[in-house]
Structure 1
């Protein structure tokens, strides 16, 4: 799951609906599953540049739920994550031409 704060407040609804996206490397890259606007793997969110955005991701089996900025309702729920791996790594990255900062990363097994 990743965030695109540069488009979070775009006046263009199609672009704005790509503010939160999900993909799964290597077989389910963005161009394969996220290119249908309003599809099950992307949504809009009230996020923008130059502000802290908090994220909480809960994973239960094949389902992942993303919460933003301490909201009670999820921003995005993926009911059937793609790929076959049951464990892996967490990646933090920033797109070309933007800056990003990360802090207080916690991974908790419940």
Structure 2
């Protein structure tokens, strides 16, 4: 298979997957280029409760943020090969949970190059900001972070508007995201747009880092994920 991209589909929400708890198994399709059979790998939830449900016409993984979670990030770790450069695609949806605070925005996204569950790059959405009446809030609809050293507060303070931007979003609605990672650069494409919504040219962990891929959920969020594809 030399020279051919190897694609693994984390069949989240697919007919072959059964996700009922943090220790559930996900079914991963073998590389699409050969169309072989199925194999299984673990999904592990950190700081979220998970369940498999039908949501707005899709079989989905629901991930609800726990009020008290260890560390900075709430994650659903995917059992994929170490990810450095490649493409991550997913349908995602986020909305504030019923018990969320007034500052909750329905934070939902994807983390990549995850190491030790604490060092990661991530791009996420703030769905309630997408159609806010306040233009400043709209400008904060999409966010890049790099934990542990570069949370959103530091990036916004040191480089205003560089690591976040606007895109049309609605809480609870399915949104398609495509993240293209190459070296120190990541590009986010939203809902099939050919041009990227956000370009990050200086991923903080450097161009050669590799790690896991994870679904990322912010505090006070009820999120859904479907049809996650990781291509290295």
Distance (Å, rounded) in 2 between the aligned partners of 1:97 and 1:27 = 22
Q: Which aligned segments of 4 or more residues in structure 1 are displaced greater than 4 angstroms?
A: 35-38
Take 1:67 and 1:36, find their aligned partners in 2: how far apart are those partners?
25
Instruction: Provide structure 1 residue ranges, at least 5 long, that are not aligned to the other structure.
Output: none
- Which of 187, 190, 201 lines up with 1:79 in the alignment? 201
Equivalent residues in 2 for 1:8-27, closer than 5 Å: 8-27=130-149
Mapped partners of 1:57, 1:2: distance in 2: 11
Partner-residue secondary structure (3-state), 1:55: strand
| In structure 1, C-alpha distance between the alignment counterparts of 2:158 and 2:139, rounded to whole Å | 10
In the alignment, structure 1 residue 5 sits paired with structure 2 residue 5: no
Question: Is the 1:28–1:83 contact (alpha carbons within 8 Å) kept by the matching residues of 2?
Answer: no
Q: CA RMSD in A?
A: 1.8
Deviations 1:6-25 (A, max 9, x none): 11111111111111000101
Q: Deviations over 1:44-68 (max 9, x none)?
A: 1001112100000001110000000
Count of residue correspondences: 109
Question: What is the deviation of 1:36?
Answer: 6.7
Q: 2:224 aligns with which of 95, 101, 107?
A: 101
Q: 1:31: Cα distance to partner?
A: 1.3
In structure 1, C-alpha distance between the alignment counterparts of 2:159 and 2:126, rounded to whole Å: 14
CA distance in 1, matches of 2:190, 2:128: 16
| CA deviations over 1:76-108 (Å, ceiling 9, x no partner) | 000111124601222323333331100111110
Q: RCO greater where, 1 or 2, for CA within 8 Å and sep 6 or more? A: 2
1:69 pairs with one of 182, 191, 199: 191
Q: Which has a greater percent of strand?
A: 2
- TM-score (normalizing by structure 2): 0.44
Q: Distance in 1 between matches of 2:216 and 2:198?
A: 19
**Max radius of gyration: which structure?**
2
Gaps in structure 2 of 5+ consecutive residues = 1-122
Q: Is 1:90 aligned to 2:213, yes or no?
A: yes
